[in-house]
Amino acid sequence: MFALVQKVLLCRIWELIGGYWVIFQNLFGGFGFNDLLLNCHHQCLNGKRSSRKKIELNEMCAFDMLATLAGKLLTEGENSLLLSNTNPTAVKETVNPEVMKSHPLDQDSCNESETPLKEAMDSPDLYSQMELGVKPPPLVSSDSSTEMPSDRENIKIAWTEVVDRECEDNSSACTHPKAFGPHSKVSKKVLSTKHRKAGSPRVHKGDKNYSVCEMKPTFRNSSLFYTRQRTQFKRKKQFGQGSIFTREVTGEILLWEVNVVCFLISFSVKREASAAKIQKPMHESKDKVKLCIKSFQIPELLIEIPETATVGSLKKKVLEAMAAMLGDGLHVGVAVHGKKVKDDTATLVQTGINHGKKIENLDFSIEPKFVSESKKTNNSSQNVVQEDSHVTDLGDLTEPLASIPPTTSPPENQVSYQELTPNLVQSPVQSPSLNCHESDYDSAPSPNSPAENMSSPEKNSNPKDLDTGDESKAMVVHRMEMEEAFAVVPARKTKRVEPVGQRRIRRPFSVAEVEALVHAVEKLGTGRWRDVKIRAFDNAKHRTYVDLKDKWKTLVHTASIAPQQRRGEPVPQELLDRVLQAQAYWAHQQAKLQLKSEACLLT
DNA sequence: GTTAGGG
DNA sequence: CCCTAAC
């Protein structure tokens, strides 16, 4: 029974995270998957997230776990968590020999890695069970940690063996055999991870023994893991194997996270790359595309915390912010030459990511899962990638982290390029539209905002108001390059990110914005918020038409009450008057319209 | 996806 | 600003 549930869950998770299964595999490196699932169940049963509608429980659980784990690794002692959670039981499950043998980098396995799972997911058997309401077994720690002796040594050995074996068996499949030599612990880790990736999700028809857990490398503690990751990055640079994390930053928390994500991403890339060479398995890397993620940026996090707070509470805050971000799930976007590639089925070659061709504009972005579609209109990775690609660079690799401090001072380099505040003066015309071409308005106000002085006397926001919200919501944008272009350090821009799952930051409307809103409503009426948005706030990504509607609502209210009762940045009476006027006018229009239609119906 | 309105 | 119902 449990196996079934596990399978279902696994399939579900896989389905949810698509091909980035690795992320989980890696993040849970030291844990038994059984543990993960058990915990998921636990959380589900506890209904912790049950109130979160629209989000699949399983999904939430998975991400919760992910976030939680990340957090625990950071907050808890070196060995505690990982060690205690090592789940030897996992190993007990049978391993499909085929899976064992297949090399993750082998096109076949890469290629097929998805199918089996899909099969599993499509399996009426699994789903029917799920639908039938099969309940997860009682949460017994039965077959996990408690029972099985946690023999790290054994596990370690097993792991090594797997690695070695894998290398031996698949030397030809290794992209860089040397890089994965027996002496490279890091490489081993990589390999084993891949192994898991390729093998775990595999489900062969009729193979009841399919399991996700075995062969999981066990990290003795977070520190080791961390170290290895770093080492790995260095090595990667050497071998052109993947990500390089060039910077060590302040919080280990962040660094850890960054490394992990970075690592995972590069992994995904690798996987895709290897899949691309399906046709000629014999050739080492002829048709492979090697991609290297130069750096990975942690999304911007907004943290407000009193100066008197303890460092511990700060850590916690950061953790929470990250958890919130991860909570909604991740989605990886790929953009070639600034153009987002939406067709996941397209091959790399078809997409223009092929060997021998220098790819200068390959970007990866991590974004909240649901966001990907939202901005179809004016969107595109363009904002995320292009615009800023020339603005910032390597240099700011540090930025994101630097900006995290609970200070009230906004990150400096982060957003300058688009910090303009609404400027009425800018539109000489009658329309106070805030749409300026280059200033997108979208970002949070910056202290240095050049446009700050216009009609609105005061800055429209306080320094605390870092913008975290950005429609693009892309958490990270990375410039990738072909290995060949290694020497060239691509620019990477920092785009603010919207902490997923977190309430949007409050951004009071500036007088200029109010002006623009009033003007637009005067023109369009009170029932066409989308038009109002497009007309006057098209470039203000953080203002949705709902926001505008809400603002109008409050404006009407504000205008209706005594000035003494008003709060916040005072809105010129003149504007308030216009608000009431427009409100009355359009209400009247609407009434007239309604009468007309009624009349029509009667006749 | 938009609107409208309550929270 | 969020959430939802309703369209």
Q: Which nucleotides of C are covered by protein (CB under 7 A)?
A: 1-4
Least confident segment among A142-156, A288-302, A355-369, A550-564: A142-156
The mean per-residue pLDDT over the stretch A50-60 comes to: 32
A474 & A554 share domain: no
Task: Tell me what pLDDT residue A303 has.
Answer: 66
Domain assignment present for residue A28? The answer is yes
A542 is near strand C: CB distance < 7 Å? yes
Query: Among all strands, which nt has the closest C1' to A505 (CA)?
Result: C1
Written in H, E and C, the secondary structure of A421-469 is CCCHHHCCCCCCCCCCCCCCCCCCCCCCCHHHHCCCCCCCCCCCCCCCC
Q: What percent of chain A has pLDDT over 70?
A: 19
The bases of strand B with some atom under 7 A from any protein CB are: 1-7
- CA atoms lying within 13 Å on the CB side of residue A472: 30
On whether both A250 and A390 belong to a single domain, the answer is yes
The pLDDT > 90 percentage for chain A reads: 10
Rounded Cα gap, residues A255 and A249, in angstroms: 6
pLDDT reading at A336 higher than 90: no
Q: Final residue of a domain: which of A209, A236, A263?
A: A236
Do residues A585 and A484 share a domain? no
Over residues A143-164, the mean pLDDT reads 26
Task: Output the pLDDT for position A364.
Answer: 67
Give the DSSP H or E segment for A162: helix A152-169
Q: Which pLDDT belongs to residue A357? A: 53
Q: Is residue A460 part of a domain?
A: no
| Residue for token pair 């017994």 | A140
Mean pLDDT computed over A502-529: 91
User: CA A506 → C1' C1, Å?
Assistant: 7
Q: Is the CB of A199 under 7 A from strand C?
A: no
Distance in Å, residue A547 CA to nucleotide C2 C1': 10
How many angstroms separate the CA of A128 from the C1' of C5? 32
Residues A267, A301 share a domain: yes
Q: Is the CB of A583 under 7 A from strand B?
A: no
Residue A130 confidence (pLDDT):
28
- DSSP state, A484? G
Instruction: State the pLDDT at residue A332.
Output: 66
Distance A464 CA to C6 C1' (A): 38
Q: What is the DSSP string of A281-310?
A: TTSSSTT---EEE----PPP------TTS-
Asked, for residue A265, whether it belongs to a domain, the answer is yes
Instruction: Read off the pLDDT band of A330 (50, 70, 90).
Output: low
User: pLDDT tens digits for A542-585?
Assistant: 999 999 999 999 999 999 999 988 888 899 999 999 999 999 99
What does the pLDDT average to over A474-493? 32
**A217 and A293 both lie in a single domain:** no
Do A475 and A534 sit in the same domain of this protein? no
Enclosing domain of residue A6: 1-58+78-236
CB atoms within 10 A of CB A373: 10
A318 lies in the same domain as A268: yes
The verdict on residue A12 lying in a domain is yes
Q: Which of residues 454-513 of A touch strand C (CB under 7 A)?
A: 469, 503-507
Domain count, chain A: 3
Mean pLDDT score of chain A, rounded to an integer? 46
A437 touches strand C (CB under 7 A): no
